[in-house]
Structure 1
């Protein structure tokens, strides 16, 4: 017996197929209509978007657009720290250097590009732009090297001499030290916190950005030395450890630095010198003498908190900029019971350490003998 519903099927909707099977004619027509509608939408969309629509299709299905080169004009292009290749490509395209992001990213897929400024042109071939940017020798920069042990006034003079900015411009920035990012415990005094290093001065540098870079570099060095952790361990504030580091920088060199740091801590904490550090460099700072000068008798009588011959304890601030070695010495002093040290050979820097005053006097005699020799030079 046939299904009643089957009796009502329109015979025209059923078309015989090979092998005795039948298919519905209406379903095939609907599928064709759907495809036609989709094509109309795509073609209509491209027609509506015009060239832009064609460009989108081309970017997805064709070769990336690229300039023929070699380019024209001048573009100083900056790669920022952390920029991805894609970000570089987007910035290059927005400045008219390359024709498309895809062309640049394809050309730079295996390249290493350092942050900095590069001399490029408008409408360059992407591979030519990559060639320039992957060569560190093409970085646009001036360098300034700030040596360890300089005071802020000396650093300002150096920067004014080796950049396009004046001393007055740097001093104006230093009048508002909060903008430099100094730690709170510096109390707005940059002495000791403008870190000695070699700095790249880019085309967009300003006196403020240069000084900020120096403070940022100090933060990195302080973290490397674990300044705050060491301060807590040694029982001092980070500010006091910075002052110790500046004294170590003024007094020592190389492998002797951790031993000099221990002498300073021993004098601060012991009774041998009644807390007097008796460091010539602090007197020179108070008297505004040249670095390394021998203080006069009158200098030693200066009424100043920086005169460690008259005042027990540390001076109120650092006296110069300590480098990595001095910071590490202040945060990781050597073990020893020394209260004195004497540099017995000024050429080699050989320094001897003593636990007693008598031993110290013996080393002082050794220095006098050294100074008395013809080969020693000025002492």
Structure 2
């Protein structure tokens, strides 16, 4: 763009530009001097003087003197030969850049609008700016050369529909104005009429019971109620699915867990595995048909504080009983079919109790122990004694003796692993088997909890000094009995387990020790005791003096005489 008064200003105007004549300035030129020629002002606007401007000649616009008769203005014929040489792509006369020639006064014409493009130029593409303003395409009413009703054509500059405003010069264009608002109304009315006819045909088809879909006039099939049925079916499935999952969510989060009522009927034995939680127990009971849901058992257990004491084992319960009834029954010792192995029990005692629990002939479990692979460690030398860990075990009517024994050995191995038996035994200078043997002696001799560590220390001290252990418990084990009365003759009983005759530890454990005895065997209490004797229950005396020990033995014998017995 040039400075004010120094150039022609904007690009040459186009006759179909709807904004032409509506601008008050162009490139810095006052009204009446646009595009390099004098023009009269708008109506009511004062006349301004014209001052010619000196401009350099433009190479693309040769200087020619304009002849007013060339356009045939006000009814004169247009000379088609003018502009054919390419001097102006729009067929306009060249502009005198020096303002020396007279220019046509277009606004003095009827209608006040510049003449249209010549007929021979209408099919020629205009400049880029014209294309952006018109936005027309071939075949469109606004495309150059395509007549449009109400739009002024060549020789038509008067008023009428679509004509430019005589005062402002604004032309609504080929696709603007009042007619454009209603341009598509006929098409909309046609579509609406076709839809109504289609619905009417569809209803007639349903009433007539005729198959097939009605067709439009062009042969295409019309829409029918099938689509509506499909949509309805999809919606029904969606609503049903949402309802199902919503109800399931409500049941799992807010509704009480399913449960039976009453105390049930029949009888069923249920095995609760080791380490089972309340929820795990509920799952087992549901699987066996005892309760209706695991959730109901958890809720009943939460309502009963004693339920936390329910342990692993075999329980005799009923079918289809309420969860609260199942909790109460499992807390009743009468329903517990577990076998309790007490601390210090010998293997012989354990075998007998298993036979009783299984209603098996006497000696059945002993034979199974001699033949079955119980999973004993290598240092056990194939002997279950000392590895039937004291605890509560599940023994049902369908249980097998070897299976019960395997449970006990597995529990013992878990206990030994927890205490770190093998590594701890090395620190004491003993083997794992010797530790279990010492623990079995402690379990048989100690009476009170505080005595376990002291008895362990007496064993270690006597072994270190090379003394005989001289324990009555070893003689009782050798003779297969349990008594406090040991005679002098008993001390001469020929058995490798008789510690009155043989120094050191017996060949193996004399029972099955518990956790406390094993801990005492690994960590004896510090002291120099070499002797001890239990004068009466709760009165066990430890000493490192032989004379004092002999006096304590006399007190023990006196107590036994009161009880019609004797002791050593």
The aligned residue for residue 350 of structure 1 is 540
Which of 366, 369, 376 is the equivalent residue of 1:174? 369
Distance 1:44 1:58, change over 3 A: same
Gaps (5+ residues) in structure 2? 1-132, 141-183, 189-225
The aligned residue for residue 508 of structure 2 is 317
The aligned residue for residue 498 of structure 2 is 307
Q: In the alignment, is the contact (CA less than 8 A) between 1:59 and 1:65 conserved in 2?
A: no
Q: In the alignment, is the contact (CA less than 8 A) between 1:261 and 1:329 conserved in 2?
A: yes
The aligned residue for residue 380 of structure 2 is 186
1:277 aligns with 2:469: yes
1:76 aligns with 2:261: no
Gaps (5+ residues) in structure 1? 16-32
Distance 1:133 1:161, change over 3 A: closer
Which of 255, 259, 262 is the equivalent residue of 2:457? 262
The count of aligned residue pairs is: 338
Deviates more, 1:59-68 or 1:312-321: 59-68
Higher strand share: 1
Query: Shift of residue 174 of structure 1?
Result: 0.7
Between the aligned partners of 2:516 and 2:546, the Cα distance in structure 1 is 25
Write out aligned runs for 1:98-247 (5 A).
Answer: 98=292, 104=296, 110=302, 114=310, 117=315, 119-122=317-320, 129-135=322-328, 136-137=330-331, 140-161=335-356, 164-179=359-374, 181-199=375-393, 201-202=395-396, 204-223=398-417, 225-247=419-441
Between the aligned partners of 1:68 and 1:307, the Cα distance in structure 2 is 61
SS in 2 for 1:167: coil
Determine which structure has greater relative contact order: mean sequence separation of CA pairs < 8 Å that are 6+ residues apart, divided by chain length: 1
Between the aligned partners of 1:217 and 1:292, the Cα distance in structure 2 is 31
- Over aligned residue pairs, what C-alpha RMSD do you find? 4.6
SS in 1 for 2:451: helix
SS in 1 for 2:513: coil
1:330 aligns with 2:521: yes
Q: In the alignment, is the contact (CA less than 8 A) between 2:257 and 2:296 conserved in 1?
A: no
Q: TM-score, normalising length from structure 1?
A: 0.68
Between the aligned partners of 1:94 and 1:371, the Cα distance in structure 2 is 58
Query: Shift of residue 231 of structure 1?
Result: 0.9
Query: Shift of residue 245 of structure 1?
Result: 0.8
Query: Shift of residue 244 of structure 1?
Result: 0.6
Between the aligned partners of 1:109 and 1:378, the Cα distance in structure 2 is 51
Query: Shift of residue 190 of structure 1?
Result: 0.9
Q: TM-score, normalising length from structure 2?
A: 0.48
The aligned residue for residue 557 of structure 2 is 371
Higher helix share: 1
Name which one, 1 or 2, has greater alpha-carbon Rg: 2
SS in 2 for 1:211: helix
Distance 1:4 1:215, change over 3 A: farther
Q: In the alignment, is the contact (CA less than 8 A) between 2:379 and 2:433 conserved in 1?
A: yes
Cα deviation, 1:357-377, whole Å, max 9, x if unaligned, reads: xx2133213322552466464
Between the aligned partners of 2:473 and 2:502, the Cα distance in structure 1 is 14
Between the aligned partners of 1:88 and 1:2, the Cα distance in structure 2 is 83
